Amino acid sequence: MTSEPQKIRWGILGPGTIAKAFAGGVAHSRTGTLVAIGARNPGKSGLAENFPGARILDGYEALLTDPDVDAVYISTPHPSHAEWAIRAAEAGKHVLCEKPMGLTAFEADAMIHAARRAGTFLGEAFMYRLHPQTAKLVDLVRSGAIGEVRMVKSSFGFAMPGFMPEHRLYANDLAGGGILDVGGYPVSMARLIAGAASGKPFAEPDKVAGAAHLGQSGVDEWASALLHFPNGIVAEVSCGISLAQDNVLRVLGTKGRIDVADFWYASGREGGTGEIRIIRSGGEEVVEVREDRWLYAFEVDAAGEAILAGKQEFAWPGMGWADSLGNLRVLDKWRAAIGLEYEIEKPEKRVDTISGRRLRSGGTTIPKREIPGLPRPASCLALGFEDFRTFSSGMILLDAYFEAGGNVFDTAFIYGSGYTETLLGQWLKNRGVREQAVVIGKGAHTPLCYPDVIGKQLTQSLDRLQTDHVDVYFMHRDDPDVPVDEFVDAMDREVRAGRIRGPFGGSNWTRERMDEAIAYAERTGKQKPGALSNNFSLAEMLVPIWPGCVTSSSDDWKAWLTARQMPNFAWSSQGRGFFTGRAGRDQRDNEELVRVWYSEKNFGRRDRAIELANRLGKSPIHVALAYVLAQPFPSVPLIGPRTLDELEDSLQALDIALSPDDIAWLDSGSDQHRRTG
């Protein structure tokens, strides 16, 4: 007697309309069975009828704590996808999340990070991608059925009865509108076809331009975008919730075109025959795809098969993690092009972390140390964050860094034309942690490197930061043509005014100018420069990355920093990729790496970092960061992770304790300093 094959026990989180379609897919799947529904209103009429055989649980948490649920299908409105996917992963549940996976690629990245840590499955529910008709279309494109693909035209739009402010599709706080609700379909298809034409699973556009009509509630009611791909393919995509569109997929090539009507529903929700029309100059050919299985059953089984095989993401042509992230990056650019930021994304509404919890203080993963002149201990790693352009995207990384124990934030007047300071100010106020933070401000960047600029720019910086002082201040560059005493006087005035309440100094200043500035301050009773922010790394910068930059990695510099016990907030502390697979003696495609870091002495250091990393079970970049942390002077590396994975990876360096002998061996390779442990 053979046993029944194992089935995935599904729970549905959020029993709305799309959840009923999914339940039908589970019922007609090979791998799944529906066992429970998590509902915020478990007494709502129709639940038992719409989800026959499933236990109705009181609330979403009850579903996540149910031991008889293996996997959760999330069908709540878009803004809560990230929160509940992260919580589900933390509870050990596999997740299939309705599209879009998150409001932004940043949210999706946080969801993926949680699944990766938990070892659970996470997939985005684009049901059409798992249907055999999709694979057939890709085969036709790859086989050259219409020659070389030049253009893709695709739409998914419908017309609601009218403006309905109470409906989720028009609700700003529920991230309504067409781009997030249905725009992801044509975008994902365009990326799929562009990839197929290049022999890849999918392709990413190098240019995105968008336009839209924003209605009464501020959401996009109809919208279009142009995507240009590196292989020359152009895609025209459109969507809408207030405008019915033809919803035809059209792929145009040099020898004809392919048309598919209502592609998103393939052969039908409950099975049927789909038609792919190939139109050439000699006539029309119809390729039929007969499929009796229910449309939503394909994604149920694809997820189930992945889970049973111990996989964490969909197999192609399902949307794996990189595919989902790429799709959302296009939607992010489309929204940015039309100026659509939902109210729910703004600081006033984003009072919790991405997991829906209040920010936690007291983290100890990143240890703290005393820095002379600072009123509070400073974390041993400082965070730089120039890549974020919205509060909702930047807060994810800021929250995670702070909860790990980080409290030093590196900003500058020039970064992001001021937006980095604005974002940090919003976050500090929103989270109520200004008094726990160490804020670095920088100003007077070339060409505006004059004493009178310091106070003027600091005024603007403090306004952006929503505070009355910075804790550390650096001139961003130096101007040797200006007497150093004028710069010291300007910064000292800000100290006396209470607008700098800790050490000040220079970023990219030479030892000679620092010595001169310190001597002047000591003679005149002014506050003397007490910190630097120069490049410092295991790899020595051979030539400046940018004009006016200064490295402190030479032997003379290290001796000076140690003798002075001068704190250095080190930028490019990991050699800007020199200690990763991007560099190598035979790899010369990256101009900056070759120009700035390539020397036999640096490669020797890299070799030793690789050797030590292999012995420790770490990566060379972890060793490189540990080297900067272990210096015999106060050394605070600036890190610039863009994702939670990158942040967590950097923190692995904190596990490495290097002795003075280790430091000497990594630097010079001297045998008597060889690390043996």
Q: Is 99 a catalytic residue?
A: yes
> SS3 for 72?
strand
Distances (CA, A) of 31 to 5, 63, 127, 184: 8, 20, 16, 27
Bridge partners (DSSP) of residue 275 are 288
Task: Pick the closest to residue 445 from 414, 421, 469 (CA basis).
Answer: 414
Task: Pick the closest to residue 412 from 537, 571, 528 (CA basis).
Answer: 571
Q: At what angle do helices 105-118 and 391-403 cross, to 10 degrees?
A: 30
Strands ordered across the beta sheet of 8-13: 55-58, 32-39, 8-13, 71-74, 94-98, 122-125
> SS3 for 557?
helix
Residue 33 dihedral angles phi and psi, to the nearest 5° = -145, 140
CA atoms of 388 and 304, how far apart (whole Å): 36
CA-CA-CA-CA torsion for 23, 15, 126, 35, nearest 10 degrees?
Answer: -40
Query: How does strand 256-261 pair with strand 248-253?
Result: antiparallel
Report residue 38 as tokens: 């998590």
Q: Which residues contact 474 (CB under 8 A, 6 or more apart)?
A: 440, 441, 442, 504, 505, 506, 507, 531, 532, 533, 569
Burial of 616 (0-12, 13-18, 19+ CB in 10 A): middle
Q: Which of 20, 44, 93, 99 is catalytic?
A: 99
> SS3 for 481?
coil
Q: Which residues contact 617 (CB under 8 A, 6 or more apart)?
A: none
CA-CA-CA-CA torsion for 17, 19, 21, 25, nearest 10 degrees?
Answer: 180
CA atoms of 43 and 54, how far apart (whole Å): 14
CA atoms of 567 and 561, how far apart (whole Å): 8
H helices of 172-234, in order, are 178, 184-197
Strands ordered across the beta sheet of 283-291: 207-214, 220-228, 234-240, 149-157, 248-253, 256-261, 272-280, 283-291
User: What amino acid is encoded at 643 in this protein?
Assistant: T
User: What amino acid is encoded at 200 in this protein?
Assistant: K
Catalytic residues: 99
